Amino acid sequence: MIDDLTPLHQLSPKMADNSFFLYKPDKAYRMQQSGGWSKPNMKLVGENHPNGAIINYYIEDLKEEDSISIAILESDGTMIQEFSNTAKEDKLNPEATKPIKVNSGGNRLIWNMRYPGFKSFKGMVFYSSPNVGPKAVPGEYKVRMTYNGEKMEQPFKNTKDPRLPNTEEEYQKQFDFLMKVRDQVSRANTAISAIRSVEKDLNYLKEKTEGNEEIQNLVQEFQSKLDVLENNIHMTKNQSRQDPLNYGIRINNRLAFLMADSQRGDYPPTDQSLEFFKEVTKELDTEINALDSLLENYIPKINSQVSENKVKMISSE
């Protein structure tokens, strides 16, 4: 009764003559639900309707060199998320193109009707803050299929749960707030990635200048200050899920928890959430400004010392 039969409804001679075809998606409902459960070979158990927008597409004869992508777009063409059979998994950047498996014949992609989550970094451990992006507000969207450079688009509608009294304004307020919080978590995590990239270079430089006390002292002084800033933004002792209970959380995790907590239902942000976001963002601004100043101060000094001492960064010996 609830199966998506849009491919059957849209069968036509025109569709049959194409080497690829993107079906117009059926109306999707924004709801608080799970996609159900199922296991292979369970013939006597039903499967719940997928939780998201169902995108059906067809490839007549898939070849190994074929390039296929499916892009989810806002009504004005702004990219939300892209999927491709040539993409590689990038777990640190949810905005990156996601890999999909494509076969000859009929294919199906379920878009969970969420925007990408925040950027992360290798080894990141957060307390009770899953990296789940904000839900798309009810409204008009588009899906675009690209097959070896040829494009086809179809519109579809994301519809509110009819049981909820929420207004369009309330959905939009929640979405706008969550996107702002998400971007600040990404900003904090990007700072951590930058610090660790510099630390990696400094450790390599220390190995190359073991006999140069001046450079060694300058590098050590720089690293000590970087460590302080890093731990102000992120709890660096966290190595497992239980560690935050012992060591606490820092700015990035506090923002990530606010993001998770503010999308447990379909409602605009509370006054307390807005105030908390303002306070923590101000703390992050302080740390980012301090980091920028630190990098501007020390990197030229260290590069100058490397040049003056003619340090060989790469040696054949």
pLDDT tens, position by position, 106-147: 999 999 999 999 999 999 999 999 999 999 999 999 999 999
pLDDT at position 48 is: 75
Q: Which of 195, 198, 181 is nearest to 256 (CA)?
A: 181
Checking if the pLDDT of 7 tops 60, the result is yes
Higher pLDDT, residue 171 or 38:
171
Q: How confident is the model at residue 288 (pLDDT cuts 50, 70, 90)?
A: very high
Distance, CA of 53 to CA of 33 (rounded, Å) = 13
Write down the mean pLDDT value for the chain: 93
Kind and range of the H or E run holding 264? none
pLDDT at position 316 is: 60
Percent above pLDDT 70 for the chain: 94
pLDDT at position 312 is: 86
Q: How confident is the model at residue 317 (pLDDT cuts 50, 70, 90)?
A: low
Q: Per this entry, what is the length of the chain?
A: 317
Tens digit of each residue's pLDDT (9 = 90 or more) over 67-114? 999 999 999 999 999 999 999 999 999 999 999 999 999 999 999 999
Distance, CA of 155 to CA of 23 (rounded, Å) = 10
Q: What's the pTM value of the predicted model, to 2 decimals? A: 0.93
Q: Which of 159, 137, 152 is nearest to 74 (CA)?
A: 137
pLDDT at position 315 is: 67
Distances in whole angstroms, Cα of residue 155 to Cα of each of 28, 31, 114, 163: 12, 20, 17, 24
